[in-house]
A and B are shown apart, each in its own frame.
Chain A
Amino acid sequence: MSIQTLLRIATGLVAACAFTGVFAADIGQIKVAKGQVSVERGGQVMPATAGMRLQASDVVKTGADGSVGITMTDNSLLSAGPGSVLALNTYAFDTTTYQGKFDATLKQGTLAVVSGKIAKQSPEAMTVRTPSTILGVRGTEFVISAEPVTQQ
């Protein structure tokens, strides 16, 4: 078999896996969903319920009556109140070494955070942002709110 044929097969396999989502690793799971909660993934908006698995780049939104609680695979806990938009920008977690990277943005709303194994292993590895602020997380529990400034 030629190298070209092998490459074509490999490319086809990668494409097939990407299509069926085989390689999309779970980064966390919605444990609590009250009121209206949705997840935006690759341009599609899906209603979210408890048990739903999350992936890197997902954006979790709550309605005016909604709230959501998420447990990440490193045991970080994130929970958002009504009218919140939370983007899970970057997430990686090695279950053998506990090395990883976690970056999330609260675009608006309220968020409670309990950091997990990623921040415990490497204090620089977890950041939580708003459009205006960057938080360095040194293994901890905190709350953050972001209120959009309206221009008139």
Chain B
Amino acid sequence: MKSLIGACAAAALLAACAQTRDTIVLLPEKDGRQTAVIVHNAGKEVTLDQPYAGAKTGARDVNGYQSSPGDVQTAFGRALAAQPPRPVSFQLYFIEGSDVFTDETKRVVDQIFAEIANRPAPDVVVVGHTDRVGSDQSNDALSLRRAELVRRELMSRGIANENIQASGRGEREPLVPTADNVSEPRNRRVEIIVR
């Protein structure tokens, strides 16, 4: 045993002895988007960029292989079964330059509360957005004001303050891209993410 540990320590000076044998598998994206995981092990690099492309690491190497839905379920079923529900996003719209809701938005609020009721340990993220009318600075402030309005609304309907985070993204993330200073109702919104 001592000699093995000694050998490992000596080897560690040259190349680290593997402490774990690892398996990595890329899963398909729900929307078919191109994605990748890059596996670095023992000075080598393996890129996984196809669904169920896998890599296994050994004592001092890493090799690609093709996995399958069945293999993944066998090896990772318990981890996948514990995956939290995906965050769901809703959009609430505002009247231009104001923090007043449009009428259709009032109906969306009911859907949001239904989603919250369906989740384990739910929390809510409120992200305010503006269109590109006005300065960046005033839009950052306006987007946060819109988010805070929605936060207060959610609190008045019984959601605890500690379960709501509010932030403002200003004009950084328009739903509809426009030139600067264009009024666009679909960008004057608050996004509510239930998770």
Residues of A within 8 A of B (CB): 29-32, 34, 50-51, 67-71, 73, 75, 77, 79-82, 84, 95-97, 107-112, 114, 130-149, 151-152
Q: In the complex, which of the residues A73, A131, A143 contacts B19, with contact meaning CB atoms closer than 8 Å? A: A131
Indicate whether B150 reaches chain A with its CB closer than 8 angstroms.
no
Determine whether the beta carbon of A82 is less than 8 Å from that of B78: yes
Min C-beta distance of A119 to chain B, whole Å: 10
A99 to B84, CA, bound (A): 23
Determine whether the beta carbon of B78 is less than 8 Å from that of A132: no
Determine whether the beta carbon of B24 is less than 8 Å from that of A135: yes
21 A-B pairs within 8 Å (CB atoms) are namely: A31-B85, A79-B80, A80-B79, A81-B78, A81-B79, A110-B79, A131-B20, A132-B20, A133-B20, A133-B39, A134-B40, A135-B38, A138-B38, A140-B29, A141-B26, A142-B25, A143-B24, A144-B24, A144-B25, A149-B20, A152-B4
Place the interface of chain B in its size category: 35 or more
Q: Which residue of B lies closest to A145 (CB)?
A: B23
Indicate whether B72 reaches chain A with its CB closer than 8 angstroms.
yes
Min C-beta distance of B34 to chain A, whole Å: 9
A51 to B122, CA, bound (A): 8
Q: In the complex, which of the residues B62, B80, B119, B167 contacts A112, with contact meaning CB atoms closer than 8 Å? A: B80
Q: In the complex, which of the residues B1, B29, B140 contacts A151, with contact meaning CB atoms closer than 8 Å? A: B1
Contacts A95-B127, A151-B1 known; 19 new A-B pairs at CB < 8 A: A31-B119, A32-B82, A32-B120, A34-B82, A50-B121, A69-B83, A71-B123, A79-B83, A79-B84, A80-B79, A112-B27, A112-B82, A132-B41, A138-B35, A140-B36, A141-B35, A143-B24, A143-B79, A145-B76
Determine whether the beta carbon of B24 is less than 8 Å from that of A96: no
Instruction: Assess A112 versus B4: contact at CB under 8 Å? Given A32-B120, A77-B86, A137-B37.
Output: no
A152 to B78, CA, bound (A): 30
* Residues on A with beta carbons closer than 8 Å to the beta carbon of B21: 132, 146-147, 149
Residues of B within 8 A of A (CB): 1, 4-5, 8, 16-29, 33, 35-42, 48, 57, 59, 62, 72, 75-87, 119-121, 123, 125, 127, 140, 165, 167-170, 172, 193, 195
Instruction: Assess A71 versus B195: contact at CB under 8 Å? Given A77-B83, A95-B167.
Output: yes
Min C-beta distance of A4 to chain B, whole Å: 37
